[in-house]
Structure 1
Amino acid sequence: MTAETANEIEKLRGLTDRAQVVLWDFDGPICRLFAGHSADLVAGELVEWLEGRGLHGLLTEAERESLDPHIVLRAVDRRHPGSDLVAVLEERLTQEELRAASTAMPTAYADPLIRTWRAVGARLAIATNNSPRVVRAYLASRGLTECFAPHIYGRTQQLHHLKPDPHCLNRALNAMGAAPSAALMIGDSPSDLEAAVEARVPFLGYARNERKAKLLREAGAEVVVGSLEPLLRVLRG
């Protein structure tokens, strides 16, 4: 083992030893939700749906071309907060996510890591910008529901509460009676890191490629892993 690898293992051990509660982002650390059902296409369909109703002007050019369904959804909510339009659009996104869940690709080592962490006494929760209905459907398909239930905190129609707002993290901590310092957030985006910092929860970055790792490090993440395997090894050790 190199000194660099030993140092990374020590950092992981330091994070896991303190973590009585583990808050997981969903799309990324647990699975690739849109592995078989492109998020780009979903965003495009939401934009087309708006344009088909004469609402082209609701989005800026950058928002239309973002290829991120959450950017489209938030943009409409900023201009028409709490409206029926937002509710319909959010439900359309939820249906697309439910469709995607059936072809989602499990993140390598996520399932055994979740089961192992639960077995050694940690309590687990989901804190995500995806619909909780989608999370529950996916967890049920993998036999993981009991590892998290009832602590699944996802998107509501109060879209200003989406990460980077720490709302879903705080909901999880409050429901579980956990101090932020006794928790750990696992996320794969700068918005996950920002929410964790705001909630005062230690953060572990998961990045499936170097581009995502670079974004996390540039945002200030101190510990970033490209695989969950070393984390599983630390827990089993």
Structure 2
Amino acid sequence: MTGAKELLREKDHVFLDFDGPVCDVFARFPAREVADRLKRLVEPDLPAEVRASADPFDVLRFAASCGPNAAYVVERQLGRLEGEAVAQVSPAPGVVEVLREWSAQGFTVTIVSNNSVDAVRSFLGLHELAEDVRRISARTTSDPARLKPHPALLDAAVKALGTSPRQCVMVGDSAADVLAARAAGVASVALATTPAKRRTLAALDPDALVVALADLRLAP
């Protein structure tokens, strides 16, 4: 793997995942509760694995398999619940300082997230981070097939910036981030804050791996 700081210095644009690196979206409004609320919109036909899941996106994927109307209803409600969730949480440790440093050093920061664009925008505004984030490339439709690990959100960010993938780096804490970056031709930095994540993400061979977002600060 390349050194994370050396990799960052080679790039102009940083793509940053939202849930995890910027804030723990469902820290106060548990993901299981959100998933359970969404399940009520598509009952009684839930498969056993979806019924047991605590992941709201599993419910969205199932809804999409039922047709566009079901997907639309579930995605709209998911967006509302994400908005409630992010209103209750604070920025992740160190993210404010990192974003401000990146901005001061001339990097263009884009939030690239499977969460709704409205929830991301609301959180950034609430915590006065919008000035440090140039763009948001996040969920705007009810089609889960276009979310990470699909590269569509990264491709859209590259296009909006008028740049090329080789000038960008994706920083995220999930396998979906690493896989989406690879599919988009973008370098990846895996943020692995626990031993389990380090094992999982290292196995995907990201371009670099760090254990804390602060490891990507470049100022002396």
Structure 2 equivalent of residue 4 of structure 1: none
Q: Equivalent residues in 2 for 1:155-170 (5 A)?
A: 155=139, 156-170=141-155
Q: Tell me which residue corresponds to 1:236.
A: 219
Question: Is 1:28 the counterpart of 2:20 in the alignment?
Answer: yes
Mapped to 2, the partners of 1:87 and 1:49 lie a distance apart of 11
Q: Deviations over 1:163-221 (max 9, x none)?
A: 11100100000010121111110111111111000001110111232222222122333
Q: Tell me which of 145, 148, 153 is aligned to 2:137.
A: 153
Report the AA paired with residue 31 of structure 1.
C
- Give 2:35's aligned residue: 43
Q: How far 1:230 moved relative to its partner?
A: 2.0
- The alignment-based identity, stated in percent, is 32
Equivalent AA in structure 1 for residue 7 of structure 2: L
User: Take 1:12 and 1:43, find their aligned partners in 2: how far apart are those partners?
Assistant: 35
1:161 CA displacement: 0.6
SS of 2:42's equivalent? helix
Q: Which residues in structure 2 correspond to 1:32-181 (within 5 Å)? A: 32-51=24-43, 56-57=44-45, 59-80=46-67, 83-149=68-134, 151-155=135-139, 156-181=141-166
Contact between 2:42 and 2:70, CA under 8 Å: does it hold in 1? no
Structure 1 segments of 4 or more deviating over 4 A? none
Give, as a single letter, the amino acid of the residue that structure 1 aligns with 2:52. E
Give TM-score, length-normalised by structure 2: 0.94
Q: Is 1:33–1:105's contact at 8 Å kept on the other side of the alignment?
A: no
CA distance in 1, matches of 2:53, 2:198: 20
Aligned position for 2:11: 19
Look at both structures and tell me which one has the larger radius of gyration over its CA atoms.
1
- Structure 1: tracts of 5 or more residues without a match: 1-7
Q: Distance in 2 between matches of 1:79 and 1:85?
A: 6
Matched, 1:184 2:176: no
Segments of 5+ residues of structure 2 without an aligned counterpart are none
SS of the residue aligned with 1:31? coil
Q: 1:222: Cα distance to partner?
A: 4.6
1:203 has 2:195 as partner: no
> For the aligned residues, what is the CA RMSD?
1.6
Q: Deviations over 1:58-90 (max 9, x none)?
A: x3211221210011101211231xx22211110
1:106 CA drift (Å): 1.6
Q: Tell me the number of residue pairs that the alignment of Structure 1 and Structure 2 aligns.
A: 219
